[in-house]
Chain A
Amino acid sequence: MSRQFLCLILAVCMGMAASAPAPALERGAVLYHSGRDGKMYGKEDALELTCSALQLVLGELGAGHVALYVGDYKIIHAVLAGIEETVSTDFLPVKDQAKGMEYLGAKVPVDYQDPGIWPEERKDQLVLIAREQVGKGYDITFHRQTGPGSGDFTCVGFAEYVYEQMGYPLTPMGYYSGGDGGRTYTQLYNCISTLWFDWEGTNTLALEVRFSRFEHPLDWCCGREQDGGKHLFFPYTQFMQPTTVEVETDIPVTGGVNTKGGCFIQTLQ
Protein backbone atom coordinates (compact mmCIF):
# COMPACT_ATOMS: atom_id res chain seq x y z
CA MET A 1 0.00 0.00 0.00
CA SER A 2 2.72 2.40 0.98
CA ARG A 3 4.59 1.42 -2.16
CA GLN A 4 1.51 2.29 -4.26
CA PHE A 5 1.23 5.57 -2.43
CA LEU A 6 4.85 6.38 -3.19
CA CYS A 7 4.31 5.54 -6.85
CA LEU A 8 1.30 7.83 -6.89
CA ILE A 9 3.31 10.68 -5.36
CA LEU A 10 6.09 10.08 -7.90
CA ALA A 11 3.62 10.07 -10.78
CA VAL A 12 2.06 13.33 -9.57
CA CYS A 13 5.51 14.92 -9.26
CA MET A 14 6.46 13.76 -12.75
CA GLY A 15 3.21 15.08 -14.12
CA MET A 16 3.81 18.44 -12.48
CA ALA A 17 7.31 18.55 -13.92
CA ALA A 18 6.02 17.73 -17.39
CA SER A 19 3.39 20.45 -17.26
CA ALA A 20 5.78 23.02 -15.79
CA PRO A 21 6.24 26.17 -17.88
CA ALA A 22 9.21 26.53 -20.21
CA PRO A 23 12.47 27.55 -18.54
CA ALA A 24 12.45 31.03 -17.03
CA LEU A 25 13.92 33.90 -18.99
CA GLU A 26 17.62 33.22 -19.06
CA ARG A 27 20.54 35.58 -19.31
CA GLY A 28 21.37 35.96 -22.98
CA ALA A 29 17.74 36.25 -24.10
CA VAL A 30 17.20 38.95 -26.72
CA LEU A 31 14.17 41.18 -26.11
CA TYR A 32 12.21 42.96 -28.83
CA HIS A 33 9.52 45.64 -28.93
CA SER A 34 7.81 47.57 -31.70
CA GLY A 35 7.77 51.27 -32.51
CA ARG A 36 4.81 53.59 -32.04
CA ASP A 37 1.27 52.22 -32.36
CA GLY A 38 2.58 48.66 -32.58
CA LYS A 39 4.17 49.38 -35.95
CA MET A 40 7.57 48.08 -36.89
CA TYR A 41 9.53 48.41 -40.14
CA GLY A 42 9.33 45.02 -41.78
CA LYS A 43 6.30 43.82 -39.84
CA GLU A 44 3.98 45.87 -42.05
CA ASP A 45 3.49 45.28 -45.77
CA ALA A 46 4.56 48.81 -46.58
CA LEU A 47 8.30 49.39 -46.06
CA GLU A 48 8.05 53.11 -45.55
CA LEU A 49 10.57 55.53 -44.11
CA THR A 50 9.88 58.99 -42.75
CA CYS A 51 10.53 62.18 -44.65
CA SER A 52 13.16 64.12 -42.77
CA ALA A 53 16.68 62.92 -42.21
CA LEU A 54 16.48 63.57 -38.48
CA GLN A 55 13.33 61.56 -38.21
CA LEU A 56 15.04 58.87 -40.24
CA VAL A 57 17.96 58.75 -37.83
CA LEU A 58 16.09 58.75 -34.55
CA GLY A 59 12.66 60.17 -34.84
CA GLU A 60 9.86 58.06 -36.08
CA LEU A 61 11.28 55.32 -38.20
CA GLY A 62 9.40 52.93 -35.97
CA ALA A 63 11.82 50.07 -36.38
CA GLY A 64 11.47 48.97 -32.75
CA HIS A 65 14.05 48.20 -30.11
CA VAL A 66 16.28 45.33 -28.98
CA ALA A 67 18.04 44.58 -25.68
CA LEU A 68 20.00 41.75 -24.12
CA TYR A 69 18.74 40.30 -20.85
CA VAL A 70 21.77 39.66 -18.61
CA GLY A 71 20.08 38.11 -15.56
CA ASP A 72 19.20 39.51 -12.13
CA TYR A 73 16.39 41.62 -13.65
CA LYS A 74 18.83 43.66 -15.71
CA ILE A 75 19.30 44.40 -19.40
CA ILE A 76 22.12 45.88 -21.45
CA HIS A 77 21.10 47.85 -24.52
CA ALA A 78 22.28 50.50 -26.96
CA VAL A 79 20.41 53.78 -26.61
CA LEU A 80 21.17 57.38 -27.47
CA ALA A 81 23.22 57.77 -24.28
CA GLY A 82 25.40 54.77 -25.22
CA ILE A 83 25.59 51.14 -24.16
CA GLU A 84 23.84 51.03 -20.79
CA GLU A 85 23.03 48.48 -18.11
CA THR A 86 19.72 49.08 -16.42
CA VAL A 87 16.74 47.37 -14.80
CA SER A 88 14.68 45.12 -17.06
CA THR A 89 11.54 47.26 -16.72
CA ASP A 90 13.35 50.05 -18.55
CA PHE A 91 13.21 47.98 -21.71
CA LEU A 92 9.74 49.35 -22.42
CA PRO A 93 9.13 52.28 -20.09
CA VAL A 94 5.71 53.67 -19.27
CA LYS A 95 6.19 56.68 -21.57
CA ASP A 96 6.89 54.45 -24.54
CA GLN A 97 3.98 52.17 -23.72
CA ALA A 98 1.78 55.26 -23.78
CA LYS A 99 2.89 55.80 -27.39
CA GLY A 100 1.59 52.37 -28.35
CA MET A 101 4.92 50.55 -28.39
CA GLU A 102 4.30 46.85 -27.84
CA TYR A 103 6.43 44.08 -26.41
CA LEU A 104 7.06 41.40 -29.05
CA GLY A 105 8.84 38.77 -27.01
CA ALA A 106 12.17 37.21 -26.09
CA LYS A 107 14.31 34.87 -28.17
CA VAL A 108 17.28 32.61 -27.50
CA PRO A 109 19.40 30.41 -29.79
CA VAL A 110 17.58 27.26 -30.91
CA ASP A 111 19.96 25.01 -28.99
CA TYR A 112 20.16 27.20 -25.88
CA GLN A 113 18.74 24.50 -23.60
CA ASP A 114 21.37 21.99 -24.69
CA PRO A 115 24.08 22.10 -21.99
CA GLY A 116 26.49 20.36 -24.34
CA ILE A 117 26.33 23.35 -26.71
CA TRP A 118 25.43 26.15 -24.32
CA PRO A 119 26.91 25.25 -20.92
CA GLU A 120 26.27 27.84 -18.19
CA GLU A 121 29.77 29.29 -18.57
CA ARG A 122 29.15 30.04 -22.26
CA LYS A 123 26.06 32.03 -21.25
CA ASP A 124 28.22 33.74 -18.61
CA GLN A 125 30.79 34.63 -21.27
CA LEU A 126 28.02 36.20 -23.35
CA VAL A 127 27.13 38.47 -20.42
CA LEU A 128 30.81 39.28 -19.88
CA ILE A 129 31.25 40.35 -23.53
CA ALA A 130 28.08 42.48 -23.27
CA ARG A 131 29.27 44.11 -20.04
CA GLU A 132 32.62 44.96 -21.64
CA GLN A 133 30.72 47.19 -24.11
CA VAL A 134 28.92 49.20 -21.38
CA GLY A 135 29.94 52.86 -21.62
CA LYS A 136 30.67 52.75 -25.36
CA GLY A 137 28.81 54.93 -27.84
CA TYR A 138 25.67 54.81 -29.93
CA ASP A 139 26.06 54.89 -33.72
CA ILE A 140 23.75 57.77 -34.34
CA THR A 141 24.34 57.93 -38.11
CA PHE A 142 24.19 54.14 -38.59
CA HIS A 143 27.49 54.10 -40.47
CA ARG A 144 28.68 50.86 -38.85
CA GLN A 145 25.92 49.65 -36.52
CA THR A 146 27.57 46.44 -35.34
CA GLY A 147 30.52 47.83 -33.52
CA PRO A 148 33.81 46.16 -34.36
CA GLY A 149 36.49 48.77 -34.79
CA SER A 150 34.24 51.72 -34.20
CA GLY A 151 32.98 50.80 -30.74
CA ASP A 152 29.63 52.23 -31.71
CA PHE A 153 26.42 50.25 -31.94
CA THR A 154 22.74 50.39 -32.65
CA CYS A 155 20.45 48.32 -30.43
CA VAL A 156 20.15 45.42 -32.87
CA GLY A 157 23.80 45.71 -33.86
CA PHE A 158 24.83 45.41 -30.22
CA ALA A 159 22.92 42.15 -29.66
CA GLU A 160 24.29 40.81 -32.93
CA TYR A 161 27.87 41.76 -31.99
CA VAL A 162 27.72 40.01 -28.62
CA TYR A 163 26.44 36.75 -30.11
CA GLU A 164 28.90 36.99 -32.99
CA GLN A 165 31.77 37.21 -30.48
CA MET A 166 30.51 33.93 -29.05
CA GLY A 167 30.70 32.29 -32.47
CA TYR A 168 26.92 32.29 -32.89
CA PRO A 169 25.85 35.07 -35.28
CA LEU A 170 22.10 35.51 -34.99
CA THR A 171 21.83 36.99 -38.48
CA PRO A 172 24.17 36.05 -41.33
CA MET A 173 26.36 38.93 -42.49
CA GLY A 174 25.37 40.28 -45.87
CA TYR A 175 23.61 43.01 -47.82
CA TYR A 176 20.22 42.64 -49.45
CA SER A 177 19.08 44.85 -52.29
CA GLY A 178 16.15 42.93 -53.75
CA GLY A 179 15.01 39.57 -55.12
CA ASP A 180 14.89 36.32 -53.16
CA GLY A 181 15.57 36.48 -49.43
CA GLY A 182 13.51 39.52 -48.60
CA ARG A 183 10.91 42.04 -49.70
CA THR A 184 11.05 45.15 -51.87
CA TYR A 185 8.78 48.18 -51.79
CA THR A 186 8.64 51.38 -53.79
CA GLN A 187 7.97 54.49 -51.76
CA LEU A 188 6.91 57.81 -53.18
CA TYR A 189 8.28 60.61 -51.03
CA ASN A 190 6.10 63.69 -50.88
CA CYS A 191 7.66 65.65 -48.09
CA ILE A 192 6.45 69.14 -47.44
CA SER A 193 9.03 69.60 -44.66
CA THR A 194 11.96 68.88 -46.97
CA LEU A 195 10.45 69.98 -50.28
CA TRP A 196 10.74 66.55 -51.92
CA PHE A 197 7.84 65.78 -54.17
CA ASP A 198 7.18 62.62 -56.17
CA TRP A 199 10.66 61.32 -55.31
CA GLU A 200 10.62 57.57 -55.84
CA GLY A 201 12.79 55.33 -53.69
CA THR A 202 13.17 51.57 -53.30
CA ASN A 203 13.22 50.19 -49.77
CA THR A 204 13.87 46.59 -48.86
CA LEU A 205 13.64 44.22 -45.93
CA ALA A 206 16.34 41.56 -45.66
CA LEU A 207 15.13 38.28 -44.20
CA GLU A 208 18.25 36.15 -44.64
CA VAL A 209 21.09 38.63 -44.11
CA ARG A 210 21.66 41.64 -41.85
CA PHE A 211 21.54 44.73 -43.99
CA SER A 212 18.59 46.05 -46.02
CA ARG A 213 19.17 48.55 -48.79
CA PHE A 214 17.06 51.69 -48.69
CA GLU A 215 16.71 54.87 -50.73
CA HIS A 216 15.82 58.21 -49.27
CA PRO A 217 16.15 61.75 -50.63
CA LEU A 218 18.46 62.56 -47.72
CA ASP A 219 20.24 59.22 -47.37
CA TRP A 220 23.69 60.86 -47.49
CA CYS A 221 23.20 61.47 -43.79
CA CYS A 222 23.13 57.93 -42.60
CA GLY A 223 23.29 54.24 -43.26
CA ARG A 224 26.05 51.79 -44.01
CA GLU A 225 27.61 52.24 -47.45
CA GLN A 226 27.95 49.15 -49.62
CA ASP A 227 27.93 48.68 -53.40
CA GLY A 228 26.96 52.30 -53.94
CA GLY A 229 23.89 52.11 -51.73
CA LYS A 230 22.88 52.76 -48.12
CA HIS A 231 21.86 50.01 -45.75
CA LEU A 232 20.24 49.59 -42.35
CA PHE A 233 20.12 46.59 -40.01
CA PHE A 234 16.53 46.43 -38.82
CA PRO A 235 15.46 44.72 -35.57
CA TYR A 236 12.70 42.86 -37.41
CA THR A 237 15.28 41.16 -39.65
CA GLN A 238 16.99 39.75 -36.56
CA PHE A 239 13.69 38.90 -34.90
CA MET A 240 12.70 36.73 -37.89
CA GLN A 241 15.89 34.65 -37.95
CA PRO A 242 15.49 30.88 -37.58
CA THR A 243 18.67 30.82 -35.46
CA THR A 244 16.54 31.76 -32.45
CA VAL A 245 13.29 30.59 -30.86
CA GLU A 246 10.82 32.45 -28.70
CA VAL A 247 10.81 31.80 -24.96
CA GLU A 248 8.45 32.79 -22.21
CA THR A 249 9.03 36.18 -20.61
CA ASP A 250 8.43 35.60 -16.92
CA ILE A 251 10.17 38.66 -15.56
CA PRO A 252 8.90 42.26 -15.83
CA VAL A 253 10.27 44.03 -18.92
CA THR A 254 7.81 46.92 -19.09
CA GLY A 255 6.70 49.79 -16.89
CA GLY A 256 10.07 51.40 -16.13
CA VAL A 257 10.48 55.10 -15.55
CA ASN A 258 13.82 55.76 -17.23
CA THR A 259 13.53 56.95 -20.82
CA LYS A 260 16.92 57.89 -22.12
CA GLY A 261 16.42 57.70 -25.87
CA GLY A 262 15.87 54.46 -27.70
CA CYS A 263 16.97 52.81 -30.86
CA PHE A 264 15.30 53.94 -34.08
CA ILE A 265 12.30 54.96 -32.00
CA GLN A 266 10.76 58.11 -30.67
CA THR A 267 11.63 57.87 -27.03
CA LEU A 268 13.30 61.24 -26.69
CA GLN A 269 12.08 63.73 -24.14
Chain B
Amino acid sequence: MATHRFPASILCILMGLMASVAWSDSGLQEAILKALDPSNPLEERVPAIQQLGASKDESAVRPLSDLCSNPSEPHAVRTNAARALAHIGEPRGEILSILEQVYRERDVSVNLQYTVLESLGNLEAAEALSLLLEALSAPDGTMRFKAAQALGKIATPEAFQYLSDRLTKESDRYVRAQIVRALGNTGNAAAEPILIQALTADPAPLVRYNAAVLLKGFKNLTPAARSALDAAAKDSSPLVRQAVKEGSR
Protein backbone atom coordinates (compact mmCIF):
# COMPACT_ATOMS: atom_id res chain seq x y z
CA MET B 1 0.00 0.00 0.00
CA ALA B 2 2.75 2.38 1.00
CA THR B 3 4.49 1.94 -2.34
CA HIS B 4 1.26 2.98 -4.08
CA ARG B 5 0.51 5.87 -1.72
CA PHE B 6 4.01 7.38 -1.92
CA PRO B 7 4.02 8.17 -5.63
CA ALA B 8 0.38 9.27 -5.41
CA SER B 9 1.15 11.78 -2.67
CA ILE B 10 4.19 13.05 -4.58
CA LEU B 11 1.99 13.40 -7.63
CA CYS B 12 -0.55 15.37 -5.60
CA ILE B 13 2.15 17.72 -4.34
CA LEU B 14 3.54 18.18 -7.84
CA MET B 15 0.08 18.83 -9.23
CA GLY B 16 -0.53 21.32 -6.46
CA LEU B 17 2.75 23.06 -7.18
CA MET B 18 2.04 23.16 -10.91
CA ALA B 19 -1.42 24.52 -10.25
CA SER B 20 -0.07 27.25 -7.96
CA VAL B 21 2.63 28.18 -10.50
CA ALA B 22 0.03 28.26 -13.26
CA TRP B 23 -2.25 30.34 -11.04
CA SER B 24 0.44 32.84 -10.11
CA ASP B 25 1.54 33.10 -13.75
CA SER B 26 -1.99 33.79 -14.89
CA GLY B 27 -2.47 36.21 -11.99
CA LEU B 28 0.67 38.08 -13.01
CA GLN B 29 -0.35 38.17 -16.66
CA GLU B 30 -3.81 39.37 -15.69
CA ALA B 31 -2.29 42.15 -13.57
CA ILE B 32 0.04 43.16 -16.43
CA LEU B 33 -2.85 43.35 -18.89
CA LYS B 34 -4.97 45.30 -16.43
CA ALA B 35 -2.15 47.73 -15.69
CA LEU B 36 -1.25 48.32 -19.34
CA ASP B 37 -4.73 48.84 -20.73
CA PRO B 38 -5.39 52.61 -20.84
CA SER B 39 -9.11 52.00 -21.21
CA ASN B 40 -9.24 50.57 -17.68
CA PRO B 41 -10.10 53.06 -14.94
CA LEU B 42 -7.30 54.21 -12.65
CA GLU B 43 -8.88 52.46 -9.69
CA GLU B 44 -8.21 49.18 -11.50
CA ARG B 45 -4.83 50.03 -13.01
CA VAL B 46 -3.19 51.32 -9.84
CA PRO B 47 -3.92 48.21 -7.70
CA ALA B 48 -2.67 46.07 -10.60
CA ILE B 49 0.58 48.05 -10.72
CA GLN B 50 1.00 47.77 -6.95
CA GLN B 51 0.36 44.02 -7.26
CA LEU B 52 3.11 43.74 -9.89
CA GLY B 53 5.55 45.50 -7.57
CA ALA B 54 4.61 43.26 -4.66
CA SER B 55 5.14 40.15 -6.83
CA LYS B 56 8.86 41.03 -7.16
CA ASP B 57 8.66 39.16 -10.45
CA GLU B 58 11.24 40.38 -12.95
CA SER B 59 8.93 39.65 -15.86
CA ALA B 60 6.88 42.67 -14.69
CA VAL B 61 9.84 45.04 -15.14
CA ARG B 62 9.40 45.59 -18.87
CA PRO B 63 5.69 46.53 -18.75
CA LEU B 64 6.26 48.66 -15.63
CA SER B 65 9.15 50.44 -17.35
CA ASP B 66 6.90 51.17 -20.32
CA LEU B 67 4.27 52.68 -18.02
CA CYS B 68 6.76 54.68 -15.97
CA SER B 69 8.58 56.17 -18.94
CA ASN B 70 5.51 57.07 -21.00
CA PRO B 71 4.70 60.80 -20.54
CA SER B 72 1.19 60.28 -21.88
CA GLU B 73 0.28 57.90 -19.08
CA PRO B 74 -1.67 59.41 -16.14
CA HIS B 75 0.46 60.76 -13.30
CA ALA B 76 -0.80 58.15 -10.78
CA VAL B 77 0.15 55.33 -13.16
CA ARG B 78 3.69 56.65 -13.54
CA THR B 79 4.37 57.27 -9.85
CA ASN B 80 3.03 53.87 -8.88
CA ALA B 81 5.05 52.20 -11.64
CA ALA B 82 8.24 53.91 -10.40
CA ARG B 83 7.63 52.62 -6.87
CA ALA B 84 6.78 49.14 -8.19
CA LEU B 85 10.03 49.02 -10.17
CA ALA B 86 12.04 49.97 -7.09
CA HIS B 87 10.20 47.30 -5.13
CA ILE B 88 11.19 44.62 -7.64
CA GLY B 89 14.76 45.92 -7.70
CA GLU B 90 16.19 43.60 -10.40
CA PRO B 91 17.57 43.85 -13.05
CA ARG B 92 19.08 46.76 -11.19
CA GLY B 93 20.82 48.47 -14.11
CA GLU B 94 17.67 48.53 -16.21
CA ILE B 95 15.51 49.86 -13.37
CA LEU B 96 17.99 52.59 -12.40
CA SER B 97 18.30 53.62 -16.01
CA ILE B 98 14.51 54.02 -16.36
CA LEU B 99 14.25 55.98 -13.10
CA GLU B 100 17.05 58.36 -14.13
CA GLN B 101 15.51 58.82 -17.56
CA VAL B 102 12.15 59.72 -15.98
CA TYR B 103 13.77 62.15 -13.54
CA ARG B 104 15.49 64.00 -16.39
CA GLU B 105 12.46 64.03 -18.68
CA ARG B 106 11.45 67.43 -19.99
CA ASP B 107 8.43 68.97 -18.21
CA VAL B 108 8.27 66.07 -15.76
CA SER B 109 6.12 66.77 -12.68
CA VAL B 110 8.03 67.49 -9.49
CA ASN B 111 6.09 64.85 -7.59
CA LEU B 112 7.21 62.20 -10.06
CA GLN B 113 10.77 63.44 -9.50
CA TYR B 114 10.28 63.23 -5.71
CA THR B 115 9.02 59.66 -6.18
CA VAL B 116 12.11 58.78 -8.22
CA LEU B 117 14.39 60.22 -5.52
CA GLU B 118 12.51 58.29 -2.83
CA SER B 119 12.85 55.13 -4.94
CA LEU B 120 16.58 55.67 -5.52
CA GLY B 121 17.04 55.99 -1.77
CA ASN B 122 15.12 52.78 -1.14
CA LEU B 123 17.32 51.05 -3.72
CA GLU B 124 20.43 52.50 -1.99
CA ALA B 125 21.45 53.43 -5.52
CA ALA B 126 25.09 54.46 -5.24
CA GLU B 127 25.13 54.20 -9.04
CA ALA B 128 22.88 57.28 -9.20
CA LEU B 129 25.15 59.61 -7.21
CA SER B 130 25.61 62.11 -10.03
CA LEU B 131 21.83 62.54 -10.38
CA LEU B 132 21.44 62.89 -6.62
CA LEU B 133 24.21 65.47 -6.49
CA GLU B 134 22.38 67.40 -9.19
CA ALA B 135 19.11 67.16 -7.22
CA LEU B 136 20.93 68.30 -4.08
CA SER B 137 21.52 71.67 -5.68
CA ALA B 138 18.13 72.02 -7.41
CA PRO B 139 16.27 75.33 -6.94
CA ASP B 140 13.30 73.51 -5.34
CA GLY B 141 13.85 72.99 -1.59
CA THR B 142 11.79 69.79 -1.44
CA MET B 143 13.91 68.36 -4.28
CA ARG B 144 17.08 69.04 -2.25
CA PHE B 145 15.36 67.60 0.82
CA LYS B 146 14.48 64.34 -0.95
CA ALA B 147 17.97 64.11 -2.46
CA ALA B 148 19.52 64.49 1.00
CA GLN B 149 17.20 61.81 2.35
CA ALA B 150 18.18 59.42 -0.46
CA LEU B 151 21.91 60.12 -0.03
CA GLY B 152 21.57 59.31 3.67
CA LYS B 153 20.22 55.88 2.78
CA ILE B 154 23.05 55.28 0.30
CA ALA B 155 25.61 56.27 2.94
CA THR B 156 28.76 55.67 0.87
CA PRO B 157 31.80 57.90 1.57
CA GLU B 158 30.97 59.90 -1.58
CA ALA B 159 27.35 60.39 -0.49
CA PHE B 160 28.60 61.45 2.93
CA GLN B 161 30.93 64.00 1.36
CA TYR B 162 28.18 65.45 -0.85
CA LEU B 163 25.93 65.90 2.17
CA SER B 164 28.55 67.51 4.39
CA ASP B 165 29.61 69.87 1.58
CA ARG B 166 25.98 70.90 0.99
CA LEU B 167 25.33 71.55 4.67
CA THR B 168 27.71 74.48 4.76
CA LYS B 169 25.97 76.35 1.94
CA GLU B 170 22.33 75.30 2.37
CA SER B 171 19.95 78.15 3.20
CA ASP B 172 16.75 76.12 3.81
CA ARG B 173 16.49 74.97 7.44
CA TYR B 174 14.40 71.92 6.49
CA VAL B 175 17.08 70.73 4.08
CA ARG B 176 19.86 71.38 6.62
CA ALA B 177 17.90 69.40 9.22
CA GLN B 178 17.42 66.55 6.74
CA ILE B 179 21.15 66.58 5.94
CA VAL B 180 21.93 66.36 9.65
CA ARG B 181 19.53 63.42 9.99
CA ALA B 182 20.99 61.76 6.90
CA LEU B 183 24.59 62.17 8.11
CA GLY B 184 23.77 61.08 11.63
CA ASN B 185 21.96 57.96 10.47
CA THR B 186 24.94 56.77 8.42
CA GLY B 187 26.63 55.67 11.63
CA ASN B 188 29.86 57.13 10.26
CA ALA B 189 32.11 58.45 13.05
CA ALA B 190 33.06 61.34 10.77
CA ALA B 191 29.52 62.67 11.27
CA GLU B 192 30.20 63.56 14.89
CA PRO B 193 32.15 66.81 14.38
CA ILE B 194 29.59 67.90 11.76
CA LEU B 195 26.74 67.29 14.18
CA ILE B 196 28.62 69.12 16.94
CA GLN B 197 29.03 72.10 14.62
CA ALA B 198 25.32 72.01 13.73
CA LEU B 199 24.32 71.73 17.39
CA THR B 200 26.47 74.61 18.53
CA ALA B 201 26.33 77.00 15.59
CA ASP B 202 23.26 76.50 13.39
CA PRO B 203 20.83 79.42 13.73
CA ALA B 204 17.74 77.21 13.28
CA PRO B 205 16.45 75.39 16.38
CA LEU B 206 15.09 72.68 14.03
CA VAL B 207 18.62 71.84 12.92
CA ARG B 208 20.07 72.02 16.44
CA TYR B 209 17.27 69.75 17.69
CA ASN B 210 17.97 67.08 15.09
CA ALA B 211 21.71 67.35 15.70
CA ALA B 212 21.13 66.83 19.44
CA VAL B 213 18.88 63.82 18.87
CA LEU B 214 21.35 62.21 16.47
CA LEU B 215 24.38 62.91 18.65
CA LYS B 216 22.66 61.37 21.66
CA GLY B 217 22.23 58.23 19.59
CA PHE B 218 25.96 57.78 19.11
CA LYS B 219 27.37 54.88 21.11
CA ASN B 220 30.76 56.33 21.99
CA LEU B 221 30.73 60.08 22.37
CA THR B 222 33.97 62.04 22.32
CA PRO B 223 34.58 64.64 25.06
CA ALA B 224 33.85 67.35 22.47
CA ALA B 225 30.43 65.85 21.76
CA ARG B 226 29.63 65.53 25.48
CA SER B 227 30.65 69.11 26.00
CA ALA B 228 28.42 70.29 23.12
CA LEU B 229 25.46 68.37 24.54
CA ASP B 230 26.09 69.78 28.01
CA ALA B 231 26.07 73.29 26.55
CA ALA B 232 22.89 72.52 24.59
CA ALA B 233 21.11 71.79 27.86
CA LYS B 234 20.91 75.59 28.12
CA ASP B 235 19.86 76.15 24.48
CA SER B 236 17.23 78.86 23.89
CA SER B 237 14.96 76.25 22.28
CA PRO B 238 12.80 74.14 24.64
CA LEU B 239 12.80 71.32 22.09
CA VAL B 240 16.60 71.22 21.95
CA ARG B 241 16.78 71.22 25.74
CA GLN B 242 14.23 68.41 25.83
CA ALA B 243 16.21 66.41 23.26
CA VAL B 244 19.37 66.73 25.35
CA LYS B 245 17.47 65.69 28.44
CA GLU B 246 15.47 62.82 26.97
CA GLY B 247 17.10 61.95 23.66
CA SER B 248 13.67 61.71 22.08
CA ARG B 249 13.19 61.82 18.31
Q: Interface on A for B, CB 8 Å cutoff?
A: 54, 57-59, 79-82, 84-86, 116, 119-122, 124-125, 127-128, 131-132, 134-138, 140-141, 167, 260-261, 268-269
Contact = CB atoms under 8 A, between A and B. Distances in A.
B71 interface: no
Interface of B: 41-44, 46-47, 50, 74-76, 79-80, 83, 110-111, 114-119, 142, 145-146, 149, 173-174, 177-178, 204-206, 209-210, 237-240, 248
Nearest to B53: A137
Main DSSP-derived SS at the B contact region: helix
Nearest to B43: A58
Contacts of A135: 83, 111, 114-119, 146
Contacts of A122: 239
Among A81, A86, A140, A269, residue most surrounded by chain B Cβ atoms (within 10 Å): A81
Contacts of A128: 174, 177-178, 206, 210
Contact of A59 (B43, B173, B204): B43
A86 B83 CA distance: 19
Contacts of A268: 41-43
A137 B146 contact: no
Contact of B79 (A81, A85, A127): A81
A116 B79 CA distance: 40
Contacts of B111: 81-82, 84-86, 134-135
Nearest to A266: B43
A269 B178 CA distance: 35
A57 B48 CA distance: 14
Contacts of A80: 42-43, 46, 76
Contacts of A121: 204-206, 209, 237, 239-240
Nearest to B79: A81
Contacts of B117: 135
Nearest to B145: A131
Contacts of B42: 80, 261, 268-269
Among A80, A120, A132, residue most surrounded by chain B Cβ atoms (within 10 Å): A80
A225 B132 CA distance: 39
Contact of B174 (A116, A124, A138): A124
Contacts of B79: 81-82
Main DSSP-derived SS at the A contact region: mixed
A167 B42 CA distance: 36
Nearest to A115: B238
A116 B239 CA distance: 9
A86 B79 CA distance: 15
Contacts of B239: 119, 121-122, 125
Contacts of B146: 131, 134-135
B75 A81 contact: yes
A145 B63 CA distance: 28
B50 A140 contact: yes
Given A85-B142, A128-B177, A140 B238 contact: no
Contacts of B46: 80, 138, 140, 261
B118 A260 contact: no
A43 B83 CA distance: 35
A123 B115 CA distance: 24
| 8 cross-chain pairs, A with B, having the tightest CB-CB distances, nearest first | A135-B118, A121-B205, A81-B76, A124-B206, A58-B43, A135-B115, A135-B114, A81-B79
A81 B75 CA distance: 7
A82 B50 CA distance: 11
B114 A134 contact: yes
B158 to A, nearest CB: 22
A101 B146 CA distance: 32
B248 A137 contact: no
B118 A136 contact: yes
Contacts of A58: 43
Given A121-B239, A124-B174, A134-B111, 16 more contacts: A54-B44, A80-B76, A86-B111, A119-B237, A119-B238, A121-B240, A124-B177, A125-B209, A128-B206, A131-B174, A134-B118, A134-B146, A135-B118, A260-B75, A268-B41, A269-B74
Nearest to B115: A135
Nearest to B238: A119
Given A85-B111, A134-B146, A119 B205 contact: yes
